Structure formats: C-alpha cells, structure tokens
Amino acid sequence: MKPGIYNMSFEDYKKIDAINNSKLVQASKTLAHALYEKEDTNVMNFGRTFHTYLLELDRFKKEYVIVPYGLKLTKKKGKAWLKENEGKKILKTEDAIAMIKMAQSLYSGNYETARNLIEKSEKEISIIWKHKTEGVLCKLRIDLLLRKLGIIADVKTSTNAEPKQWLRTMLNAGIQPHFQPAWYLDGCAAMPELTIHTFLWVVFETTEPFGISVIQATPAPLGEPDMVMLGREQIKLLLPKYIHAKKTNEWMGYPDKIVHGTMPEYYIRSAEI
C-alpha cells in the first residue's frame, strides 16, 4: 500500500501488512511476545465498544445491540432474542448504562476541553508511511486529528483517569504509553501536508463519577523529562531487532539464565521500615 493519509475502516486498516505501535509494545516485553495477539478481556472489549460508541455512532448502531433490561439470555425469551440478533455484537445492559453516563459526563459542562477536542476533530484517520532509516512500511490510526491546531489525540478508558496514576498503571501493565506519541508524531512528520506538534490522551473513567482527563504527552513542560524522546530512543533500538526477527524467524524470549530478583524502587521508597 502506498504511503499516505487515509479514511478507511478499522477492518481494512488491520489488513495492511505494516509495523504499528501495538506490535512494538508487545516486542518490548520480548520478541517472542510479538508473535501472539493479546486475548480479548472484558476490559479491552468495553474500551473498544465505547470507542465505537463515542467516535463512530453510526457504526455502533449497525453492529451492536443492547440486551434489554431484565432479559435473561439463558431463558427462552433470551434465546429467541439472541437468534433475532444473530451476527450482531452483544452489549450488556450495565455496560450500555456505563457508556451513556460516560458520554453524559463529557457533555455535562465540566469537561469542555475534552468535549471540544472530540467535537471539532477528524476521527479515525489512518496513516501509512515508510520508515526513514529502516525503510519498512509502518502504520498508525489516529482517533482525533485537529490539523489547524497541530494536535492528535487518543481516546482511552480506565478505572482511574488521574494523570499520574493512569500513566503508572499503563507502565506497570507493560503497555509503554510513551511509545505511542513517539510513533504517532514520527508517522505524522512523514506526511508533508501535516504539521503536528502535540499529542494528547483523553482518558474516560468507566465508573462513577466518570471523570475525564486530558493528558499531554508532548511537547513536554519546561524542565520536565520528555517522554517522547525516551520512546523514540527505545524504539530506535527495538525496531531493528523486530525487523531482524521477522526476516530470520528467530523470536527470542526471556534470557535462559537465573536472574536476581529486586524490589521496585518506588516500593522501597514508600515502605515503612
């Protein structure tokens, strides 16, 4: 596929044989992890569904059905309802209620920054480019694009949207949040028609009070560590290893040796001893 900016479905985007941020995040654990797709969890499914509900409502209406309140799917009426809606994605009543409340929070007047970002942006924009040093085809998919303001943003869901806690949770889960802004800004820089300098996350809490945070990854505040620079440096080392593994089909796992276990520094600092 030719490099460029595309409006395409997520299904078509997935079919493109190119390296993306998610694959590099997997490879950052070990190269062997990049061979396998993560199994869907309830949390992942909820986040994906809310993403569709918030940004692609027409698609949501076509693809999803909400279980009527009080309907037991194991009973006769429930089984009949499932048969009527065969082929559709099933959304639990309680999950639908949570998503409605999350959207209501966005339009409550308390989170105008997030609302403006979502309302005024282009949505679900795909970028394909050739890596300037490695020469491989790369891809990314932007949730929110505001060309005139030079902003791209990604929508996330979490049980805790407090910025520091959210970033720590992501890092502890091995998700490497700083990879994303580094990868996305480099992809945008490969497009002459785009001038993007700011990457944001819009994080929605999935439980009451359904708070929303807008977290800026770049540019970093004066005097603060630059997470994008760190992400770029790590990707610079990781990407050639991933490309080599693809060529040789040699996917290294954990080191085959005894490793000394250590307690994390943040735990030691907080321990009462």
Q: What would the pLDDT profile of 111-149 be if each residue is shown by its tens digit?
A: 999 999 999 999 999 999 999 999 999 999 999 999 999
In a domain, residue 60? The reply is no
Who contacts 95 (Cβ-Cβ below 8 Å, separation ≥6)? 46, 49
Strands 137-146 and 151-158, by their bridges, are antiparallel
261-242-35 Cα angle (round to 5): 75
> 76 in a domain, yes or no?
no
Instruction: Give every strand in the sheet of 4-7, ordered side by side.
Output: 4-7, 122-130, 137-146, 151-158, 198-205, 212-218
The pLDDT of residue 181: 97
pLDDT digits (tens, 9 = 90+) for 65-102: 999 999 999 999 999 999 999 999 999 999 999 999 99
Query: What average pLDDT does the segment 255-273 reach?
Result: 85
Residue 82 lies in a domain: no
Asked whether residue 86 is domain-assigned, the answer is: no
Residue percentage of the chain with pLDDT more than 70: 99
Per DSSP, 97 falls in state: H
Q: What is the pLDDT of residue 225?
A: 73
In a domain, residue 152? The reply is yes
Residue 84: CB atoms within 10 A of its CB come to 9
Domain count, the chain: 1
Structure tokens at 218: 């770049």
Expressed as residue numbers, the domain containing 242 is 4-39+107-270
The mean pLDDT value of the chain amounts to 94
Average pLDDT for 46-51: 96
CATH number of 34's domain: 3.90.320.10
Q: Are strands 89-91 and 64-66 parallel, antiparallel or unpaired?
A: parallel
- Predicted local distance difference test score (pLDDT) of residue 273: 65
- Average pLDDT on 169-174 reads 92
| 77 lies in some domain | no
Alpha helical stretches, state H, 66-203: 76-84, 93-106, 112-119, 163-172, 179-189
Position 79 in a domain:
no
Cis peptide before 68 (omega within 30 of 0): no
Stronger pLDDT, 223 or 58, i.e. the higher one: 58
Structural domain contains residue 156: yes
pLDDT in the model for residue 265: 83
